[in-house]
């Protein structure tokens, strides 16, 4: 999978949107790090900050190949350091499932230390654990403006089970907690939700606040017309999102492998294309619901076919009604790209989650790349608010070099989806109310 990214700079559209939705209900109801600093003199105080340091590594398991997530940590951390706080950073890394792993994508956080020190402009005290007497003693000896980094929280199986003992152990390290890992906010883990029960105040960091304002603002009070572009391989993961967006959107464009489940529901031959047989009835219901609500649910009219799941496979362009045999659809076709462009040009707020095809293969990336360019153009030339909210679509935008041309790139795929569905995120709900 490609990497998530955070937009480093913002444009005029972002500024207008940020101001317009600064009072968004979810974000506004919770304490922010700015408000925390106004309520409490943080000088010399320990502040535990939950961040996301899942930076990708090179094959040497040491070199960070993309520091995007590390850069996302900087604004909140520097703000707290400027206030004289001692910052204790906590993060998981990969999925070690309770096992201590020395190196690799599921291992220790050592590889991020030097890049993070460079970004923060200060040294970091790296611990070999995230709890226990040694960690507590080190935390108690921190002096004004120091940064401590705890070890991978998922070295303890209790992290993902929201273990009360681990939550309490983390809470012992600081009086205040800042949640700035939006990508994990949809999970009630010890370091995201449980720890809030063991501190005086729990606040949202700048990254978390920005995510809530953008995503919640986009669906609660958008600049209309509001469009959603939904792609990806499986319709099963996106049906709840589409159902929710039908209540809010003026139109929905659908792409990716999921389209063949819809075509199956329409009675089309889909050849060897991906299909979720157990989702066909739900796809039918979804189309009927969209029609009843008068919300256009726009499916591709043509696709790029291949005779194998391979970048070098033989390929052809066909109408969606002309798929047969062992051919499979791996991308949207040129007529669909033109159709989508016409629709996108009408929208003022656009949420995109999921690629249009198998964009990891260059020969089947045209549809995804075209949509990325359309959103960049909509933002830069038409003043549309464009929000990219899923891992692969985020990767596509960045791969095309357009990350700074859209309004907002979300750092949380699953969290973004659940917020768009209207769900309450545990990592947000647990923060102190104002």
Q: Which residues are annotated as a binding site for ATP?
A: 238, 360, 390-393
Which residues contact residue 326 at a Cβ distance below 8 angstroms, ignoring those fewer than 6 apart?
271, 272, 307
Which residues are known binding-site members for (2R)-3-phosphoglycerate? 69, 154, 187
Nearest-angstrom CA–CA distance, 69 and 413: 14
Nearest-angstrom CA–CA distance, 119 and 115: 6
Annotated catalytic residue 234: yes
Nearest-angstrom CA–CA distance, 57 and 69: 12
Annotated catalytic residue 71: no
Angle (nearest 5°) at CA 332 between 14 and 228: 35
Annotated catalytic residue 69: yes
The one catalytic residue among 255, 354, 357, 391: 391
Calculate helix-pair angle for 206-220, 12-20, nearest 10 degrees. Answer: 80
Nearest-angstrom CA–CA distance, 319 and 104: 45
The one catalytic residue among 71, 234, 248, 348: 234
Calculate helix-pair angle for 206-220, 413-420, nearest 10 degrees. Answer: 40
Alpha helices, H only, 84-148: 110-120, 133-140
Which residues contact residue 201 at a Cβ distance below 8 angstroms, ignoring those fewer than 6 apart?
31, 36, 39, 40, 175, 176, 177, 432
Annotated catalytic residue 414: yes
Nearest-angstrom CA–CA distance, 347 and 116: 39
Nearest-angstrom CA–CA distance, 53 and 72: 9
Active site residues: 69, 234, 391, 414
């Amino acid at each position: 999978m490609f990497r998530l990214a955070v937009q480093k700079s913002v444009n005029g559209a972002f500024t207008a949107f940020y101001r317009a939705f600064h009072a968004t209900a979810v974000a506004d109801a919770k304490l922010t790090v700015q408000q925390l600093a106004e309520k409490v003199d943080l000088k010399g105080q320990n502040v535990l900050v939950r961040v996301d340091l899942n930076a990708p590594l090179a094959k040497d398991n040491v070199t960070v190949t993309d520091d995007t997530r590390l850069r996302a940590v900087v604004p909140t951390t520097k703000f707290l350091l400027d206030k004289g706080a001692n910052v204790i950073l906590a993060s998981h890394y990969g999925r070690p499932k309770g096992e201590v792993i020395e190196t690799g994508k599921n291992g220790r956080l050592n590889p991020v230390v030097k890049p993070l020190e460079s970004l923060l402009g200060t040294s970091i005290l790296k611990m070999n654990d995230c709890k226990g007497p040694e960690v507590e003693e080190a935390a108690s000896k921190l002096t004004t403006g120091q940064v401590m980094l705890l070890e991978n929280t998922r070295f303890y199986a209790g992290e993902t089970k929201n273990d009360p003992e681990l939550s309490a152990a983390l809470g012992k390290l600081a009086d205040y907690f800042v949640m700035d890992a939006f990508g994990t906010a949809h999970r009630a883990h010890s370091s995201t939700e449980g720890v809030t029960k063991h501190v005086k105040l729990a606040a949202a960091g700048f990254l978390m606040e920005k995510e809530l304002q953008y995503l919640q603002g986009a669906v609660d009070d958008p600049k209309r017309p509001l469009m959603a572009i939904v792609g990806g391989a499986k319709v099963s993961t996106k049906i709840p999102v589409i159902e929710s967006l039908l209540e809010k959107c003026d139109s929905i464009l659908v792409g990716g492998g999921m389209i063949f489940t819809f075509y199956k529901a329409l009675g089309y031959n889909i050849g060897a294309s991906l299909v979720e047989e157990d989702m066909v009835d739900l796809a039918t219901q979804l189309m009927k619901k969209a029609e009843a609500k008068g919300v256009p649910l726009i499916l591709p009219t043509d696709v790029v076919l291949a005779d194998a799941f391979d970048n070098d496979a033989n390929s052809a362009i066909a109408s969606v009604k002309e798929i047969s045999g062992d051919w499979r659809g791996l991308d949207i076709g040129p007529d669909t790209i033109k159709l989508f462009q016409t629709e996108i040009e009408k929208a003022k707020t656009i949420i995109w989650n999921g690629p249009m095809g198998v964009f990891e293969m260059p020969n089947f990336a045209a549809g995804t790349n075209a949509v990325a360019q359309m959103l960049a153009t909509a933002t830069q030339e038409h003043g549309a608010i464009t929000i990219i909210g899923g891992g692969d679509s985020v990767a596509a935008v960045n791969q095309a070099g357009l990350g700074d041309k859209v309004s907002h790139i979300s750092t949380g795929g699953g969290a973004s989806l659940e917020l768009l569905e209207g769900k309450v995120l545990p990592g947000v709900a647990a923060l102190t109310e104002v």
